[in-house]
Protein backbone atom coordinates (compact mmCIF):
# COMPACT_ATOMS: atom_id res chain seq x y z
CA UNK A 1 0.00 0.00 0.00
CA UNK A 2 1.29 3.43 -0.92
CA UNK A 3 2.44 6.06 1.56
CA UNK A 4 0.06 8.97 1.82
CA UNK A 5 0.59 12.73 2.19
CA UNK A 6 -0.96 14.35 5.23
CA UNK A 7 -3.02 17.13 3.71
CA UNK A 8 -0.89 19.44 1.58
CA UNK A 9 2.03 19.22 3.98
CA UNK A 10 5.37 17.58 3.30
CA UNK A 11 4.53 14.84 5.81
CA UNK A 12 4.07 11.51 4.06
CA UNK A 13 3.13 8.49 6.14
CA UNK A 14 2.23 4.83 5.88
CA UNK A 15 -1.50 4.02 6.30
CA UNK A 16 -1.32 3.39 10.05
CA UNK A 17 -0.69 5.70 13.01
CA UNK A 18 0.16 4.25 16.41
CA UNK A 19 -2.13 5.50 19.18
CA UNK A 20 0.04 6.51 22.12
CA UNK A 21 -2.87 6.82 24.55
CA UNK A 22 -1.97 3.37 25.92
CA UNK A 23 1.44 4.47 27.18
CA UNK A 24 1.33 4.93 30.93
CA UNK A 25 -2.24 3.58 31.00
CA UNK A 26 -2.76 0.01 29.76
CA UNK A 27 0.85 -0.37 28.60
CA UNK A 28 3.61 0.19 31.17
CA UNK A 29 6.90 1.78 30.22
CA UNK A 30 8.90 -1.45 30.44
CA UNK A 31 6.76 -3.02 27.70
CA UNK A 32 6.29 0.04 25.50
CA UNK A 33 9.69 -0.07 23.83
CA UNK A 34 9.14 -3.55 22.36
CA UNK A 35 5.76 -2.50 20.94
CA UNK A 36 7.20 0.66 19.37
CA UNK A 37 10.14 -1.31 17.98
CA UNK A 38 7.73 -3.74 16.34
CA UNK A 39 5.69 -0.88 14.91
CA UNK A 40 8.65 0.70 13.10
CA UNK A 41 10.00 -2.71 12.10
CA UNK A 42 6.79 -3.16 10.10
CA UNK A 43 7.62 0.00 8.15
CA UNK A 44 5.36 2.48 9.95
CA UNK A 45 6.57 5.85 11.15
CA UNK A 46 3.77 7.94 12.71
CA UNK A 47 3.08 7.94 16.46
CA UNK A 48 0.18 9.97 17.83
CA UNK A 49 -0.05 11.15 21.43
CA UNK A 50 -1.20 14.13 23.49
CA UNK A 51 0.17 16.12 26.38
CA UNK A 52 -2.93 15.03 28.31
CA UNK A 53 -2.42 11.26 27.92
CA UNK A 54 -1.37 10.17 31.37
CA UNK A 55 -0.79 13.85 32.17
CA UNK A 56 2.42 13.76 30.16
CA UNK A 57 3.32 10.11 30.77
CA UNK A 58 2.72 9.08 27.15
CA UNK A 59 4.98 11.80 25.74
CA UNK A 60 7.64 10.97 28.34
CA UNK A 61 7.70 7.27 27.41
CA UNK A 62 7.90 8.08 23.70
CA UNK A 63 10.73 10.54 24.45
CA UNK A 64 12.71 7.89 26.32
CA UNK A 65 12.24 5.46 23.44
CA UNK A 66 13.39 8.06 20.89
CA UNK A 67 16.51 8.71 22.94
CA UNK A 68 17.27 5.03 23.46
CA UNK A 69 16.87 4.20 19.76
CA UNK A 70 18.37 7.47 18.44
CA UNK A 71 15.83 7.41 15.63
CA UNK A 72 14.08 10.79 15.83
CA UNK A 73 14.63 11.56 12.14
CA UNK A 74 13.06 8.25 11.08
CA UNK A 75 9.70 8.72 12.79
CA UNK A 76 6.88 11.25 12.78
CA UNK A 77 5.68 12.51 16.14
CA UNK A 78 2.11 13.79 16.39
CA UNK A 79 0.92 15.34 19.64
CA UNK A 80 -1.91 17.57 20.82
CA UNK A 81 -2.72 20.52 23.04
CA UNK A 82 -5.96 21.78 24.55
CA UNK A 83 -7.26 19.10 26.90
CA UNK A 84 -6.92 19.76 30.62
CA UNK A 85 -3.55 18.96 32.18
CA UNK A 86 -4.31 20.54 35.56
CA UNK A 87 -6.65 23.22 36.91
CA UNK A 88 -6.22 26.26 34.69
CA UNK A 89 -3.96 24.40 32.25
CA UNK A 90 -6.05 23.78 29.16
CA UNK A 91 -7.42 25.44 26.04
CA UNK A 92 -6.00 27.03 22.92
CA UNK A 93 -5.02 30.52 23.95
CA UNK A 94 -1.75 31.88 22.57
CA UNK A 95 0.16 32.05 25.86
CA UNK A 96 -0.94 28.58 26.97
CA UNK A 97 0.10 27.02 23.66
CA UNK A 98 3.52 28.67 23.93
CA UNK A 99 4.10 27.03 27.30
CA UNK A 100 2.46 23.71 26.44
CA UNK A 101 4.60 23.14 23.37
CA UNK A 102 7.78 23.70 25.37
CA UNK A 103 6.60 21.17 27.94
CA UNK A 104 5.79 18.64 25.20
CA UNK A 105 9.13 19.16 23.49
CA UNK A 106 10.89 18.59 26.80
CA UNK A 107 9.00 15.39 27.56
CA UNK A 108 9.54 14.09 24.03
CA UNK A 109 13.23 15.01 24.12
CA UNK A 110 13.08 16.65 20.71
CA UNK A 111 13.34 20.16 19.29
CA UNK A 112 10.42 19.82 16.86
CA UNK A 113 7.01 18.20 16.53
CA UNK A 114 5.91 16.91 13.14
CA UNK A 115 2.18 17.47 13.67
CA UNK A 116 0.79 19.64 16.48
CA UNK A 117 -2.96 19.36 16.90
CA UNK A 118 -5.78 21.22 18.60
CA UNK A 119 -7.15 18.37 20.72
CA UNK A 120 -10.66 19.80 20.89
CA UNK A 121 -12.36 23.13 20.20
CA UNK A 122 -11.91 25.89 22.76
CA UNK A 123 -15.12 27.95 22.92
CA UNK A 124 -13.34 30.64 24.93
CA UNK A 125 -10.64 31.35 22.35
CA UNK A 126 -10.98 32.81 18.86
CA UNK A 127 -9.55 30.55 16.17
CA UNK A 128 -7.39 33.39 14.89
CA UNK A 129 -5.54 33.56 18.21
CA UNK A 130 -4.85 29.83 18.08
CA UNK A 131 -3.64 29.91 14.48
CA UNK A 132 -1.40 32.88 15.26
CA UNK A 133 0.21 30.84 18.03
CA UNK A 134 0.76 27.97 15.61
CA UNK A 135 2.22 30.38 13.06
CA UNK A 136 4.80 31.47 15.62
CA UNK A 137 5.73 27.85 16.36
CA UNK A 138 6.10 26.94 12.70
CA UNK A 139 8.24 30.00 12.02
CA UNK A 140 10.43 29.06 14.99
CA UNK A 141 10.89 25.55 13.60
CA UNK A 142 9.26 23.91 16.62
CA UNK A 143 6.30 22.54 14.65
CA UNK A 144 6.19 21.32 11.05
CA UNK A 145 2.41 21.21 10.50
CA UNK A 146 -0.80 21.65 12.48
CA UNK A 147 -4.05 19.73 12.67
CA UNK A 148 -7.32 19.59 14.57
CA UNK A 149 -9.34 16.97 16.39
CA UNK A 150 -13.07 16.83 17.10
CA UNK A 151 -13.79 19.93 14.97
CA UNK A 152 -17.06 20.43 13.12
CA UNK A 153 -17.19 21.24 9.39
CA UNK A 154 -18.12 24.84 10.24
CA UNK A 155 -15.10 25.20 12.52
CA UNK A 156 -12.79 23.84 9.85
CA UNK A 157 -14.26 26.16 7.23
CA UNK A 158 -13.69 29.12 9.54
CA UNK A 159 -10.09 28.06 10.17
CA UNK A 160 -9.38 27.57 6.47
CA UNK A 161 -10.88 30.97 5.69
CA UNK A 162 -8.68 32.61 8.34
CA UNK A 163 -5.62 30.82 7.01
CA UNK A 164 -6.19 32.40 3.60
CA UNK A 165 -7.27 35.88 4.66
CA UNK A 166 -4.73 36.32 7.47
CA UNK A 167 -1.88 34.30 5.93
CA UNK A 168 -1.87 31.82 8.79
CA UNK A 169 -1.19 28.07 8.90
CA UNK A 170 -3.95 25.79 7.65
CA UNK A 171 -4.99 22.61 9.35
CA UNK A 172 -3.40 19.74 7.44
CA UNK A 173 -5.17 16.99 9.33
CA UNK A 174 -8.37 16.20 11.16
CA UNK A 175 -8.94 13.55 13.83
CA UNK A 176 -12.57 12.45 13.97
CA UNK A 177 -14.04 9.45 15.72
CA UNK A 178 -14.65 6.98 12.90
CA UNK A 179 -14.99 3.23 12.64
CA UNK A 180 -17.39 0.57 11.34
CA UNK A 181 -19.83 1.38 14.13
CA UNK A 182 -19.43 5.15 14.69
CA UNK A 183 -19.90 6.75 11.29
CA UNK A 184 -22.39 9.60 11.51
CA UNK A 185 -19.99 12.23 12.84
CA UNK A 186 -17.59 11.82 9.89
CA UNK A 187 -19.50 10.53 6.89
CA UNK A 188 -21.27 13.33 5.08
CA UNK A 189 -20.43 16.96 5.82
CA UNK A 190 -17.11 16.46 7.64
CA UNK A 191 -15.86 13.95 5.11
CA UNK A 192 -16.79 16.31 2.27
CA UNK A 193 -15.13 19.26 3.99
CA UNK A 194 -11.87 17.36 4.46
CA UNK A 195 -11.86 16.17 0.87
CA UNK A 196 -12.68 19.67 -0.41
CA UNK A 197 -9.71 21.21 1.42
CA UNK A 198 -7.37 18.22 0.98
CA UNK A 199 -7.14 17.70 4.73
CA UNK A 200 -5.68 14.40 5.87
CA UNK A 201 -7.97 12.28 8.02
CA UNK A 202 -6.52 10.18 10.83
CA UNK A 203 -9.49 8.63 12.67
CA UNK A 204 -9.34 7.68 16.33
CA UNK A 205 -11.23 4.83 18.04
CA UNK A 206 -10.60 2.89 14.82
CA UNK A 207 -11.44 -0.37 16.58
CA UNK A 208 -14.24 1.11 18.74
CA UNK A 209 -12.30 0.74 22.00
CA UNK A 210 -11.64 -2.92 21.19
CA UNK A 211 -15.22 -3.89 20.33
CA UNK A 212 -14.32 -4.49 16.67
CA UNK A 213 -11.71 -7.06 17.66
CA UNK A 214 -14.60 -9.41 18.36
CA UNK A 215 -13.35 -9.98 21.89
CA UNK A 216 -16.38 -8.44 23.57
CA UNK A 217 -19.73 -9.99 22.66
CA UNK A 218 -21.55 -9.67 25.99
CA UNK A 219 -21.18 -7.81 29.25
CA UNK A 220 -19.71 -10.99 30.71
CA UNK A 221 -16.83 -10.70 28.22
CA UNK A 222 -16.05 -7.20 29.43
CA UNK A 223 -15.54 -8.18 33.06
CA UNK A 224 -13.27 -5.64 34.73
CA UNK A 225 -11.62 -4.51 31.49
CA UNK A 226 -10.41 -0.92 31.71
CA UNK A 227 -12.27 -0.12 28.51
CA UNK A 228 -15.48 -1.70 29.78
CA UNK A 229 -17.46 1.52 30.09
CA UNK A 230 -16.64 2.42 26.49
CA UNK A 231 -17.34 -1.03 25.06
CA UNK A 232 -20.82 -1.41 26.60
CA UNK A 233 -22.29 1.20 24.26
CA UNK A 234 -21.69 -1.12 21.28
CA UNK A 235 -23.51 -4.14 22.72
CA UNK A 236 -26.76 -3.67 20.80
CA UNK A 237 -28.46 -4.82 17.60
CA UNK A 238 -26.26 -2.67 15.38
CA UNK A 239 -23.11 -3.89 17.10
CA UNK A 240 -24.14 -7.52 16.77
CA UNK A 241 -24.91 -7.03 13.05
CA UNK A 242 -21.40 -5.71 12.56
CA UNK A 243 -19.84 -8.59 14.48
CA UNK A 244 -21.82 -11.05 12.35
CA UNK A 245 -20.57 -9.39 9.16
CA UNK A 246 -16.99 -9.42 10.46
CA UNK A 247 -17.31 -13.12 11.29
CA UNK A 248 -18.55 -13.89 7.77
CA UNK A 249 -15.70 -11.98 6.12
CA UNK A 250 -13.25 -13.61 8.55
CA UNK A 251 -14.36 -17.03 7.35
CA UNK A 252 -13.72 -15.98 3.76
CA UNK A 253 -10.35 -14.31 4.32
CA UNK A 254 -8.83 -16.00 7.34
CA UNK A 255 -8.23 -12.57 8.83
CA UNK A 256 -9.30 -11.48 12.30
CA UNK A 257 -12.20 -9.06 12.96
CA UNK A 258 -9.72 -6.35 13.96
CA UNK A 259 -7.75 -6.77 10.74
CA UNK A 260 -10.92 -6.67 8.67
CA UNK A 261 -12.17 -3.56 10.48
CA UNK A 262 -8.94 -1.72 9.70
CA UNK A 263 -8.97 -2.94 6.10
CA UNK A 264 -12.45 -1.45 5.69
CA UNK A 265 -11.53 1.82 7.38
CA UNK A 266 -8.35 2.52 5.44
CA UNK A 267 -10.28 2.22 2.19
CA UNK A 268 -12.97 4.77 3.03
CA UNK A 269 -12.95 8.01 1.00
CA UNK A 270 -10.81 10.70 2.54
CA UNK A 271 -9.10 8.51 5.15
CA UNK A 272 -5.32 8.90 5.24
CA UNK A 273 -4.41 6.52 8.05
CA UNK A 274 -6.36 5.15 11.03
CA UNK A 275 -4.98 5.51 14.53
CA UNK A 276 -4.83 2.21 16.39
CA UNK A 277 -3.19 1.09 19.61
CA UNK A 278 -1.51 -2.13 20.62
CA UNK A 279 -0.26 -3.50 23.91
CA UNK A 280 1.82 -6.39 22.54
CA UNK A 281 4.07 -7.21 19.62
CA UNK A 282 1.49 -9.74 18.42
CA UNK A 283 -1.17 -7.02 18.27
CA UNK A 284 1.17 -4.80 16.23
CA UNK A 285 1.58 -7.62 13.72
CA UNK A 286 -2.21 -7.85 13.44
CA UNK A 287 -2.57 -4.09 12.89
CA UNK A 288 0.00 -4.25 10.11
CA UNK A 289 -1.86 -7.11 8.43
CA UNK A 290 -5.12 -5.20 8.70
CA UNK A 291 -4.12 -2.03 6.88
CA UNK A 292 -2.51 -4.11 4.14
CA UNK A 293 -5.37 -6.58 3.77
CA UNK A 294 -7.21 -6.45 0.44
CA UNK A 295 -10.97 -6.96 0.67
CA UNK A 296 -13.24 -7.55 -2.29
CA UNK A 297 -15.86 -4.99 -3.27
CA UNK A 298 -18.54 -7.41 -2.07
CA UNK A 299 -16.87 -7.83 1.32
CA UNK A 300 -16.48 -4.08 1.74
CA UNK A 301 -20.14 -3.61 0.90
CA UNK A 302 -21.20 -6.32 3.37
CA UNK A 303 -19.38 -4.47 6.14
CA UNK A 304 -20.67 -1.06 5.10
CA UNK A 305 -24.28 -2.21 5.06
CA UNK A 306 -23.98 -3.94 8.45
CA UNK A 307 -22.97 -0.68 10.08
CA UNK A 308 -25.75 1.49 8.67
Q: What is the rounded distance in angstroms from the CA atom of residue 142 to the CA atom of residue 144?
A: 7
305 Cβ contact partners less than 8 Å away, ≥ 6 residues apart: 245
Phi and psi at 223, nearest 5°, equal: 55, -130
Q: What is the rounded distance in angstroms from the CA atom of residue 224 to the CA atom of residue 232?
A: 12
Q: Distances in Å between the alpha carbon of 136 and those of 212, 218, 260?
A: 41, 50, 42
Domain assignment present for residue 243? The answer is no
Q: What is the rounded distance in angstroms from the CA atom of residue 286 to the CA atom of residue 303?
A: 19
Q: Could you count the other beta carbons within 10 Å of the beta carbon of residue 180?
A: 28
Domain assignment present for residue 41? The answer is yes
% of residues, the chain, pLDDT over 90? 91
% of residues, the chain, pLDDT over 70? 98
Domain assignment present for residue 235? The answer is no
Domain assignment present for residue 301? The answer is no
Domain of residue 74: give its range.
4-213+257-294
* 163-207 pLDDT tens trace: 999 999 999 999 999 999 999 999 999 999 999 999 999 999 999
Q: Distances in Å between the alpha carbon of 103 and those of 7, 106, 112, 113?
A: 26, 5, 12, 12
* 122-159 pLDDT tens trace: 999 999 999 999 999 999 999 999 999 999 999 999 99
pLDDT for the residue numbered 12: 97
Query: Is-contact 54 24, C-beta < 8 A?
Result: yes
pLDDT at residue 27 tops 70: yes
pLDDT for the residue numbered 1: 61
Domain assignment present for residue 307? The answer is no
Query: Is-contact 18 77, C-beta < 8 A?
Result: no
Q: What is the rounded distance in angstroms from the CA atom of residue 15 to the CA atom of residue 89?
A: 33
The separation between CA 151 and the C-alpha centre of its own chain, rounded to angstroms, equals 14
Q: How does residue 37 score in pLDDT terms, banded at 50, 70 and 90?
A: very high
* 38-83 pLDDT tens trace: 999 999 999 999 999 999 999 999 999 999 999 999 999 999 999 9
Domain assignment present for residue 164? The answer is yes
Phi and psi at 158, nearest 5°, equal: -60, -45
pLDDT for the residue numbered 25: 87
**Strand 113-118, strand 275-276: pairing:** unpaired
Q: How many angstroms separate the most distant Cα atoms in the chain? A: 55
Domain assignment present for residue 231? The answer is no
Domain assignment present for residue 238? The answer is no
**Number of compact structural domains in the chain:** 1
Q: What is the rounded distance in angstroms from the CA atom of residue 173 to the CA atom of residue 46?
A: 13
Q: For position 28, which CATH number holds?
A: 3.20.20.100
Amino acid sequence: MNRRPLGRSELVIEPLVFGGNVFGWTLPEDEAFAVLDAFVDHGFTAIDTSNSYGKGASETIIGKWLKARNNRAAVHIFTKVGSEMAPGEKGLKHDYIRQAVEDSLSRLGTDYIDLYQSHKPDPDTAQQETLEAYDMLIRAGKVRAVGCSNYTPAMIEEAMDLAIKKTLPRYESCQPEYNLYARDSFEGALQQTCEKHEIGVIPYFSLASGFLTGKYRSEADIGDAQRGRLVKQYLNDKGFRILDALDRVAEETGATPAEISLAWLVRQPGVTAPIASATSVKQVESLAKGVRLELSAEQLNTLTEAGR
